[in-house]
Structure 1
Amino acid sequence: MKISLNYSGNYSNLLSPELKLKIQTIHDGIYTKTGIGSDYLGWIDWPSSISQDWLKNLNDTAKDIRDKSNVLVVIGIGGSYLGAKAVLEALSKNFQPFKKLEVIFAGHLVSGTYLKQLMQYLDSKEVTINVISKSGTTTEPAIASRFLIQYMEKRYGEQASSRIIVTTDGKKGALRSLAIAKGYKRLVVPEDIGGRYSVFTAVGLLPFVAAGYDIEELLLGAKIAQQEFQIVDVENNPAIQYAIIRKNLYDSGYPVEILATFDDKLKYVQEWWKQLFGESEGKDGKGIFPTSVLYSTDLHSLGQYIQDGKRMLFETFLLVDKVDEDLTIVESFQNGDDLNYLSGLSLHEFNHVCYEATSIAHLQGGVPQIAITIDQLDERHLGHLLYFFMIACAYSAYLLDINPFDQPGVEEYKMNIFKFLKKPGYC
């Protein structure tokens, strides 16, 4: 298992003695947990520190959900839903998205239409809900929780408490207090792991394992990545290489990164990546703006801008080498569409050619490029990839002299909402 990273520029020219020293300093701060924001570095060794008892509890909880229900509603926002959504979308089949249990997300937006239609849909299902919030007071999921807990209590009466699971702080918070008072099963968000780094905790894993996917394989991929990427080697560690290249491009006048893929299964990995890097780096007037495109669809919408627009962006291709299922173009007798020249070509091969052609065109248009390739899309490789991005993000933010683990700007809009709505204490 490996992640292949290629760069359109000359990587060796970036490696000054000063940069190597800074990378060593960052590495030491991460792995001794003494750097800025170190209180939230619990995710670094989390995959290898999970006990069999912890896994058994999670698997037992997932089995209990499946025994009672055919739908799990996960209520959360940001890192409390994007990790699970990314993993589920990446591994599910088109048109058959649910392996053993349907998983639906709520609380990631405020929409009366969505919630009303969701509850109408749930009327014909057997339901468990999983409320995810460290504090229990984050407005969007708290609103959804109020409606859905009331729905569960009205529908199931005294049995509702056995169908409500909370994933929250282990020591404090409104959601923890509610769970104790109502008798809900509790899972813990580790105190030293922030939301966007929580995909391998109960936050991301319970929906994943409840849906019937292989938790052992996902965590094995993360464990392998944890071991591989802890080596401070600027020449061979792709996580460090990615961080160094990004920093150089940022310093060279490219403040926007586009994560491009040809695989629609990776759409929510892109969304998870955007939160990971956006919240980790976007501070103090600094940071690379993360955005994403799905090719070849977006070649017919944003492709023009990428090719000929303002030269402020660089492109990172996220590629998958092998696919499980594919189709091959066959020869047509009439050939009215003039596609017989493609006979014998698989659609995965077509997408690879499309990548090469796009890469050349965009390079000629002045767009620097990185290519990140994984062998295939399964639990193990996905766990490996997500951990790769997490550790690369930490290095990237530290190279900008930014704390990767706080998000002070997120609080600003919340304060304004509370003032406008005249929340007590904010008027």
Structure 2
Amino acid sequence: MLRNNLFFKTSELKFISSYARRMNDELNSGDIGYYHLIHTSLELIDESLEFIKDKTHIKNIVLVGMGGSSCGVKALQNLLFDEKENDRELLILDNTSSHSFAQILKKLKLEESLFLITSKTGNTIEVVSLFKLIIAHFGIEFSRIRDYFVFITDRDSKLHKEGENLKVKTFFIPNNVGGRFSVLSAVGIVPLCFCGYNAKALLDGAKQCFEDFFIHKKEEILQKAYHYCTHKNANINVLFSYGDSFKGFNEWYIQLIAESLGKKQGYKRIGLTPIALIGARDQHSFLQLIMDGPKNKTISFLRVLNSKKSPVIPNIDFEFLDSSSNGVSLHNLLNAQCEATMNALIAENLSVDLIELDYLDAWHTGYLMYYYELFTSTCGIMLGIDTYNQPGVEIGKLILKKILDAQTNS
């Protein structure tokens, strides 16, 4: 299971119950599609497995996407490192970096590779550009693009139309599912199925989170969102994740929170600023600022209670070196460091919460990602903003288009 312990004073239900009702209204409106992916994505599993079952020659799945089309998949790949049932490698191209592009493509043989061109709008300039570069790199004829590519996009998008033109297999993202909330749609389910991960367990975990919030009326998400959104001094939320497997998840968390909650409201600028750290490594860098710097931060700790594969530190005694960790498993040392750091911050009267997963597997990963999607939606309602748009990003895209047009015409 997932437990969320709150180390701050919670509010009476009468102050937050109206937000719960508005979350239910948003769910029942049908306008926000990610709530329903726990059901609607089940058929994607069968469709994905049916498509890939006879492609035994494929050894590499290469996802090409940006932002919401890649961050969630990278998180899943990192978190489910020990859950694969086949030998296919999942590679992710998510930047217009010449170095990254060259490093990934030099590993690939065309006949052993399948590229997933992923863009919700179907016209993401970075994704389209990388798509063209892959075609040119391997010298793929237009008539054979369908042999090496799969498209993941909205129905009736430009990419969908191009897919029909090129006869490329296309998996669809529901139109009412925003990019950064799309990890449980075809964006995440298709590559997971292709690479042998347990997509059904992922959706089952997310479904349990849905039921805990909407049916069993668990309060932790509401209480946490209300406290962090109404805090008088802190508008920065630090996610302190203990374990390197959370690196991709931290990136996803930053995108989810920043792009969803950083908005203008008239002339007022509001939002929570996300910072993501990895414990215990970042105890030796950022922790000093949290402890003794401005008290403008809330801190969420994230850890896994049990590890199936963790070496035990041997009972080796030196004359001068510390022996306090002798006989302790490496995983338990990591969690003890989490506990010690958390208690130090609580003693400083900072607002802290702790998320604990029993195990790191597909079920708990699904629960965790759905938890943070619900948390983000709840914060958006409490802040009085549109959680699902990104007008600031769109302005940059328009300026980029003008710059590229000028370069082309010069």
What TM-score, normalized by structure 1, do the two folds share?
Answer: 0.88
Select the residue among 219, 237, 247 that pairs with 1:237: 219
**Conserved in 2, the CA contact under 8 Å of 1:4 and 1:238?**
no
Question: Does residue 381 of structure 1 match 2:378?
Answer: no
Q: How big is each residue's C-alpha offset from its partner over 1:71-124, in whole Å with a ceiling of 9 and x where there is no partner? A: 11111001101111111111115xx99952111111x21122322333332248
Aligned to 1:76: 65
Aligned to 2:354: 371
**Conserved in 2, the CA contact under 8 Å of 1:231 and 1:237?**
no
Offset, 1:268: 0.9
4+ long deviations beyond 6 Å: 424-427
Select the residue among 129, 147, 155 that pairs with 1:143: 129
Structural mapping, 1:76-225, within 5 Å: 76-93=65-82, 99-106=86-93, 108-123=94-109, 126-152=112-138, 154-155=139-140, 158-171=143-156, 173-225=157-209
Offset, 1:221: 0.9
Count of residues in correspondence between the two structures: 406
Question: Does residue 46 of structure 1 match 2:40?
Answer: no
**Conserved in 1, the CA contact under 8 Å of 2:41 and 2:186?**
no
Aligned to 1:396: 379
Amino acid at match of 1:77: M
Aligned to 1:338: 321
Offset, 1:50: 3.8
Offset, 1:253: 1.2
What is the CA–CA distance in structure 2 between the aligned matches of 1:97 and 1:419, rounded to whole Å? 44
- More displaced, 357-366 or 184-193? 357-366
What TM-score, normalized by structure 2, do the two folds share?
Answer: 0.92
Offset, 1:261: 1.3
- More displaced, 412-421 or 376-385? 412-421
Offset, 1:287: 0.7
Amino acid at match of 1:161: R
What is the CA–CA distance in structure 1 between the aligned matches of 2:188 and 2:299, rounded to whole Å? 28
Aligned to 1:266: 246
What is the CA–CA distance in structure 2 between the aligned matches of 1:260 and 1:99, rounded to whole Å? 32
Select the residue among 63, 74, 87 that pairs with 2:53: 63
Q: How big is each residue's C-alpha offset from its partner over 1:126-168, in whole Å with a ceiling of 9 and x where there is no partner? A: 111010012222111111111113335x257744422210011
Return 5+ residue gaps in structure 1 as ranges. none
- SS of 1:372's equivalent in the other structure is strand
Change (3 A) 1:90 1:125: farther
Change (3 A) 1:29 1:304: same
**Conserved in 2, the CA contact under 8 Å of 1:329 and 1:347?**
yes
What is the CA–CA distance in structure 1 between the aligned matches of 2:119 and 2:9, rounded to whole Å? 44
Select the residue among 28, 31, 34 that pairs with 1:32: 28
Amino acid at match of 2:97: S
Change (3 A) 1:421 1:163: closer
RMSD, matched Cα? 2.5
Structural mapping, 1:221-300, within 5 Å: 221-231=205-215, 233=217, 236-249=218-231, 252-284=232-264, 285-300=269-284
- SS of 2:238's equivalent in the other structure is strand
**Conserved in 2, the CA contact under 8 Å of 1:415 and 1:426?**
no
Offset, 1:409: 1.0
Change (3 A) 1:134 1:316: same
Q: How big is each residue's C-alpha offset from its partner over 1:388-425, in whole Å with a ceiling of 9 and x where there is no partner? A: 11112111110000111111111122122222222699
